[in-house]
Amino acid sequence: MRSTLLFLCLLGLASAEAASLNPKSPPQKHVGKSPARSTKTTAEPTARTTAQLVDKTRTAIVRIDGRGRDGTQEGVGTGFVIAAEGLIATSLHVIGEGRSVQVRLADGSTPEVIGIHAWDRPHDLAILRVRATGLNALPLGDSDTLPQGASVIALGHPLGLNQSVVEGVLSARRDLEGRPMLQLAMPIEPGNSGGPLLDRSGHVHGIVNAKSLLTQNLGFATPANHLKALLKQPNPMAMDRWLRQGALNTNQWESFLGSHWRQKGGRILVEGTGAGFGGRAYLLKREAAPEGTELQVSVRLDDNSGAAGLIFAGDEKGRHYGFYPTGGELRLTAFEGPDVFSWRILGTVPSAAYRSGDWNSLRVRRADGVWECSVNGEVVFRSKDSALNGSRVGLAKFRNTAAEFRDFRVGKATAEAELPPDVMASFTAGREPREALKAHPMAADRFLQERAQRLESEATRLRKLAKDLHREIAREALVSELSRAASEIRLTHATLLLAWHDHPGLNITDTERQLAELGTEARLLVSQAKTGPDRIAALRRFLFEEQGFHGSRGDFRNPANSHLQSVLEDREGIPITLSIVFLEVAKAAGIEHLEGLPLPGHFLVRHAPPGEPARLYDPFNGGIPITFSEADELGTESAGVPIRSEFLEAASPRSILIRMINNLRSFTMERSGIEAALPYSDLLVALAPDARSAAAERVDRARLKSQIGDREGAAADLRAVLETVPTGPQEARIRDALKALENRP
C-alpha cells in the first residue's frame, strides 16, 4: 500500500529489530469462555475505568506476526476476537495480501490460521478464521453514534510491546482518500494497527490503522460499522488459496535471495530486503534468452535511495549484469559472485531523461559486441564488457526498496518504425499534422511521448539549474560578507543573505530599510531614558508591547522563524532571530555594549557596559531580564552538562549564521527530508572557520548524501577530508566508510 504525504498506513509491520526486543508474554488464563457474540450493540449499565476495561477485554486481544517467504517474522500487528468460534478482526495491511501470518492468543497459544473469512481492501479490513473455539469475543458498537469528544482506549502491541493500552478521545470524523475515518487524539505506534478502539462500556467502535506523520498524538481508525457490513457479506478464502493469491507463475519465473515477489494486474511487485549482500534479490526467467535478444521493462521505485531494474547475461549462480536506477542516477554493474568483492561497477551516470518517482522505461540490447543501455529512449551506457555470457534475464532489486515492474519484454532486437522525416520536421516547425501522425499510430505515439519526456526533463533540469545557481550566488555572497573583519560584518545583511538563499524574490534592501525604520522609531523613545537599564526597558516595551514581537511557541520549528524578513513581517521568531532584531534595533537606537550570548538550546542578549555588572535579557520571552543562575539552568538542561553562562564568549557574526543554518537544516529535514536540507550542509562547509571544522561538516554531509543514495557525492566528500586534514584517530573509519561507498551496489 502506498502511503500518502501525511499519513502512514502500514503500521502493522514493525521492524524486525523492534519485534526482536519483545519478551514473550507470560501465559495468561482466559477470563472465561463465552458463547459467540452478536455484532449488535448491547447496552452497558455503567462506564468502566480503564483498568476494568483492560481486565475485561485483554483475553480477546491477539498478536499477529507477519511472516516472510521463508517463514521468518517480518513485523507485529494486533487483532481482536469478534466471534467465539475463531473469528479475529484486524487491518488488511497487517496480514498483507497473499502472506502467511501467525496468531498468538493472550494465553500464548498459536492456533492454526485456516482461512480468511472476509477482507475489504478499500476499508483496510480483514477477518481471520483460526482453529479455536470458546474464545472471549468483543461486542461491536454502533460507530455512527460515538460522540465527538468521547473517551476511548486502544489495545494492542505498539512497537511489539505486548498487551499495551493507551487512552484518548474521538477528536473528529474525517475523510481520508475518500474513506470515512475516526480521528483520534492519542499516540499510535507501529504494532497498534488492527487493534480495537473501545468506548467506556467496552464496545468496539473502530479498528486502529493509521497515524499522522506530523505529530505523535494523532491517529485514525476505521469505523466498526464497516466491519459489521463485512460480517454480513463475507468473502471467505481458504489459507492455501490466499497464499497463492498474486503468486508468481513459477513455470515462468525463478526467484533467488528472498524478498516478496508477486504479480498483480499484469505487474510484478517486490518488497522486503533480499538476503544477498546489499539487500540483493532477483528473478530469472526460466526460459533462456537467445543471443541478440533485446530486453525491456518499465520500473517505478518507492524510494530512490534503493535500486531495481533489469539483469541480463545471467545464470542461476548469481552472476549477471545489472542495469538499474539508484539514487536518481543510472548504474551498470557486473555481479560475478555473491559478495561485494565480486561486484564491478561499470558506470554510474546521471540522466536528464530519468524521472524520479515515476515510471521509467529501461532497455538493454546487444549489437556488435556492445551492450547498449537506455532509459526512456536515451542511451546512457555502451559497454564492451564480456566477462559474463549467461543466457538468463530477469529483474533485480536492492536494499529495502519496494518496486513495481510492468511491460517486461524479451525479444529479438528489431528496427523500430519511425515517423517519416517530413512529418517530424513539420511537427518540429510548430505544426501538428494530425492525419500524417494518425497514419503511423505506434511511431507517432512513441515520438510524441519521447518528445514530451524530453521537454519535461529539460524543464525540470532548467528549474533545478536556476535554483542551484541562485543558491551558489547566495553562498558566495555570504562567504564574502563573513570574510570581512568581525567589526565590519553587517549582521542584518548577512542574515538576509541567508534568507535570500531560500527566497530568490526577497528584496534585501527593502527589508534592511524596515529594520532601520524600527531603529529610528525606537531611538525617539530610548533617548528619553537616563540609565542603561531604563533605555533597555524602553526598547523592550517598544519591541514586545507596541510592535508585538513574540516567541513562536505553537510553530517553533517552522523555517520561517529563521528568516529575518518573515520575523519582521509576522513579528514572530525563535530566540536567535528575536535576539538579532533586539541587537540591531538597539544599535540603531544608540544603545551600546550589547552582544549575543549563545547558550546551548537558547539564545540571550547580554548588556555589559565597562565598569558595570553585566545583565541578561531573553528576547524570546518578551526581553525580560534573566539572572545568570537562571541562564545556567537553561543551558545545563539543554546541554546535559554544567554551563556557566557568565564565562561564555559573545557570539560572533559567523557563529550566529552557522547556528541559524544548523537550525534551518534541522527544521527542513523534519518537514521535507534530507535532500531538501542538503543545501544547508553546503553552506556549513563553505562557512566553516577552519579546515578541521570544514572536514567535520563534510563528513556529516557525506552521511546525509549516503542516506539518499548519492554515493558518489558522499565518497567525494570523504576523499576531500582525507586529502585536506592531517591523519588522526578517525582516518581508519573514514577510509572504511569510503571503501564501502565505492563498492556498494
Helix (H, G, I), strand (E, B) or coil at 717: helix
Task: Supply the pLDDT for residue 585.
Answer: 96
Q: Give the whole-angstrom CA distance, residue 588 versus residue 495.
A: 17
Helix (H, G, I), strand (E, B) or coil at 122: coil
**Structural domains present in the chain:** 7-242 (2.40.10.120), 253-415 (2.60.120.560), 484-654 (3.10.620), 688-743 (no CATH)
Cell digits of residue 84: 467465539
Q: Give the whole-angstrom CA distance, residue 279 versus residue 709.
A: 14
Q: Give the whole-angstrom CA distance, residue 742 versus residue 331.
A: 13
What's the mean pLDDT in 522-546?
92
Task: Supply the pLDDT for residue 17.
Answer: 26
CB 494 within 8 A of CB 562: no
Q: Which of 186-190, 301-305, 671-675 has the lowest mean pLDDT?
A: 186-190
Task: Supply the pLDDT for residue 424.
Answer: 81
Q: pLDDT, tens digit, for every residue of 330-346? A: 999 999 987 767 888 89
CB 323 within 8 A of CB 309: yes
Task: Supply the pLDDT for residue 163.
Answer: 66
Q: At residue 627, what is the residue type?
A: T
Closest among 56, 54, 72, 69 to 15, alpha carbons compared: 72
What is the CB neighbour count within 10 angstroms for residue 530? 8
Q: pLDDT, tens digit, for every residue of 44-96? A: 446 788 888 888 888 999 998 875 544 444 567 899 999 999 999 999 888 87
**For 127, what's the count of Cα atoms within 13 Å in the CB-facing half-sphere?**
21
User: Scanning the structure block, which residue is given the C-alpha cell 536528464?
Assistant: 352
Per-residue CA distances from 682 to 459, 561, 612, 662, 697 (Å): 24, 21, 42, 11, 9
Closest among 117, 100, 131 to 240, alpha carbons compared: 100
What's the mean pLDDT in 533-551?
93
610, with CB counted inside 10 A (0-12, 13-18, 19+), is exposed
Strands (E), 44-112: 61-67, 73-83, 87-90, 101-104
Dihedral in degrees, nearest 10, Cα atoms 97, 268, 378, 346? 100
Q: Give the whole-angstrom CA distance, residue 698 versus residue 717.
A: 6
User: Scanning the structure block, which residue is given the C-alpha cell 564574502?
Assistant: 480
Task: Supply the pLDDT for residue 518.
Answer: 94
Q: At residue 61, what is the residue type?
A: I
Regarding predicted confidence, which is higher, 66 or 141?
Answer: 141
CB 62 within 8 A of CB 79: yes
Closest among 61, 58, 199, 76 to 142, alpha carbons compared: 199
What's the mean pLDDT in 201-213?
81
Closest among 193, 180, 122 to 154, alpha carbons compared: 193
CB 501 within 8 A of CB 564: no
Distance of CA 528 to the CA centre of its chain: 55
Cell digits of residue 520: 529610528
Instruction: Sort strands 125-130 and 179-185 into parallel, antiparallel or unpaired.
Output: unpaired
Helix (H, G, I), strand (E, B) or coil at 49: coil
DSSP string, 165-210: EEEEEEEEEEEETTEEEEEEES---TT-TT-EEE-TTS-EEEEEEE
Does the pLDDT of residue 533 top 60, yes or no? yes
Specify the DSSP element, H or E, that contains 153: strand 151-156
- pLDDT band of 265, cuts 50, 70, 90: low
Q: What percentage of residues in the chain have a pLDDT greater than 70?
A: 88
Q: pLDDT, tens digit, for every residue of 721-743? A: 998 877 677 888 888 888 888 87
Task: Supply the pLDDT for residue 244.
Answer: 63
Q: Give the whole-angstrom CA distance, residue 18 versus residue 25.
A: 15
Q: Give the whole-angstrom CA distance, residue 316 versus residue 225.
A: 51
Closest among 124, 13, 123 to 66, alpha carbons compared: 13
What is the CB neighbour count within 10 angstroms for residue 452? 10
Give this prediction's pTM: 0.53
What's the mean pLDDT in 290-313?
87
Per-residue CA distances from 84 to 29, 81, 231 (Å): 16, 7, 14
What's the mean pLDDT in 260-289?
85
What is the CB neighbour count within 10 angstroms for residue 57? 25
